Structure 1
Amino acid sequence: MKKLLAIASLCLLLGGCAGVPVSHYQAAQPVLDLPRYFNGTVDGWGMFQSRSGEVVKRFHVVIEASWAERDGRQVGTLDEHFSWSDGTTSRRVWTISRDGERGFIGHADDVVGPARGETAGNALQWRYVLALPVDGRVWNVDVDDWMFLVDEKVMLNRSAVSKFGIHVGDVTLSFMKRPAP
């Protein structure tokens, strides 16, 4: 009986982790065109919250984004400059390319292996492993990153961060695209 109860509990736990597929947003408007939105300068304001909900860090990020044709493929560069609430700064440079009609593959120095993304309607879901420095050590954490285009200038972002399948926190972020000069 105990084994049956343990198996049933595990199935319920794993079933609850499935979430909504990105295809659920296929009809949502406006349609997110990733190269169109992330082209030029984009500002972002966000925070990291621990699993208890405590705001651990806040940040501002300025993204300089551009796309170019390379070897017959459209490749994007997102050069992100972070200013953190504790006075520190950091930088991440993404290189992104298409992977099929709705897919994208991304690479950055602090991302372990490729990031894989898929768009549908106004949504983009990224999944990747981030090498995150914590108290002098580096943790490889799983990131389930969702972006939702609100209008041509505003996008909202929510990322769930976990380690060994255990939820450790969330990142909430709002982007605003600057007008072209």
Structure 2
Amino acid sequence: MKRRLLLTAATGSLLALGGCASQSIDQYRNDKPTLDLKDYFNGTLDAYGVFTDRSGSVVKRFTVVMNCSWQGDQGVLDEDFTYSDGSKQKRIWRLTRLADGRYTGTADDVIGVAQGQARGNAFYWTYTLSLPVDGSVYEVRFDDWMYLMTDKVMLNKATMSKFGVKLGEVTLSFTRR
């Protein structure tokens, strides 16, 4: 009886953990339109977004103007942020396209190297950002999922976490001019 109870508990735990599994980039392999970062992030784009806390409340709104260019497999995404409180920020991503839809990227406020991969209409991108908040700087992990909706519109949902604890989300839409 004890053995049966232990087996049932173990099976239930595995099923519960399986429900927590994260999505896989490969599940988007056949989704259209097909995202080519080099093609989409080329020229000028506008983005509109919000930061939300763990409860889903909007903490800050922002807009971004992105000037993007590529030379071979090297891309530059020059981002100018304007926040709802009037503050401004600049981030310049330097991307490298690798084989199999993979990308790496760096920026001055990114710790280490960002890693990403595109499949079908989706792009998964993860990195650690030095995030200034109220006079302090925190190292926050970002897990970005981008989905190409049309040749002009892409949606992005990023989860921010620290020590595995979800801090909030960033949701934004990109529009090519």
Match of 2:125 in 1: 126
1:116-146: CA deviation from partner (whole Å, max 9, x where unpaired): 0000000000010011001111110110001
Match of 1:67 in 2: 70
Residue of structure 2 aligned with 1:37, choices 40, 46, 55 = 40
Whole-angstrom distance in 2 between the partners of 1:10 and 1:162: 24
Name the amino acid aligned to 1:55: V
The TM-score normalised by the length of structure 2 is 0.90
- Indicate yes or no: 2:89 matched with 1:86: no
The TM-score normalised by the length of structure 1 is 0.88
Match of 1:27 in 2: 30
- Indicate yes or no: 2:143 matched with 1:140: no
Structure 1 position 14, deviation (Å): 5.8
Whole-angstrom distance in 2 between the partners of 1:138 and 1:10: 37
1:18-70: CA deviation from partner (whole Å, max 9, x where unpaired): 3110110000000000000000000000000000111000000000000013x
3-state SS of 1:29 partner: coil
Whole-angstrom distance in 2 between the partners of 1:9 and 1:137: 42
Whole-angstrom distance in 2 between the partners of 1:8 and 1:45: 44
**Relative to structure 2, which stretch is displaced further, 11-20 or 55-64?**
11-20
Whole-angstrom distance in 1 between the partners of 2:40 and 2:138: 31
3-state SS of 1:95 partner: strand
- Indicate yes or no: 2:157 matched with 1:154: no
Match of 1:109 in 2: 108
CA shift in 2, pair 1:133/1:38, >3 Å? same
Residue of structure 2 aligned with 1:52, choices 52, 55, 62 = 55
Name the amino acid aligned to 1:140: E
Matched residues, percent identical? 50
- RMSD over aligned Cα atoms: 2.0
CA shift in 2, pair 1:20/1:87, >3 Å? same
CA shift in 2, pair 1:8/1:23, >3 Å? same
CA shift in 2, pair 1:40/1:52, >3 Å? same
Largest Rg, 1 or 2: 2
Runs of 4+ in structure 1 off by over 4 angstroms are 7-17
Gap regions ≥5 residues in structure 2: 1-5
